[in-house]
């Protein structure tokens, strides 16, 4: 009886992908390390109602209800995420 691994189940084009590596892992040098979506220089910032709520709530009720209605499903079957890492960290 042979053992099947997850790699055996993956398509060849997926197996041939090169995994992401951060600059730190690649041996980059420097004192400041930015995340993939960070801007290296500060921009002028004004505190307003819009910037105060920069990051949306994780499960926005109105979005979920409207999407459920659009998709024709019960809202308990819908959820949302702000970013793919939030989905991966669930």
For residue 82, which phi and psi values (nearest 5 degrees)? Answer: -80, -30
Kindly state the percentage of the chain with pLDDT values over 70. Answer: 79
Tokens of 50: 């819009």
CA distance 87 to 81: 6
Closest CA to 75 of 67, 83, 86, 84: 67
Mean of the pLDDT values across residues 84-89?
61
Average pLDDT over residues 10-18: 93
Question: Phi and psi at residue 70, in whole multiples of 5°?
Answer: -60, -45
59 closest CA partner among 78, 79, 77? 79
What pLDDT is attached to residue 17?
93
């Amino acid at each position: 009886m042979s053992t099947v691994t997850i790699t055996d189940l993956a398509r060849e084009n997926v197996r041939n992908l090169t995994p992401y590596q951060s600059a730190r892992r690649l041996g980059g040098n420097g004192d400041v390390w930015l995340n993939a979506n960070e801007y290296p220089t500060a921009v002028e910032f004004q505190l307003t109602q819009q910037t105060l709520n920069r990051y949306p709530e994780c499960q926005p009720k109105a979005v979920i209800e409207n999407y459920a209605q659009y998709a024709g499903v019960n809202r308990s079957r819908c959820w949302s995420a702000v970013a793919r890492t939030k989905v991966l960290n669930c």
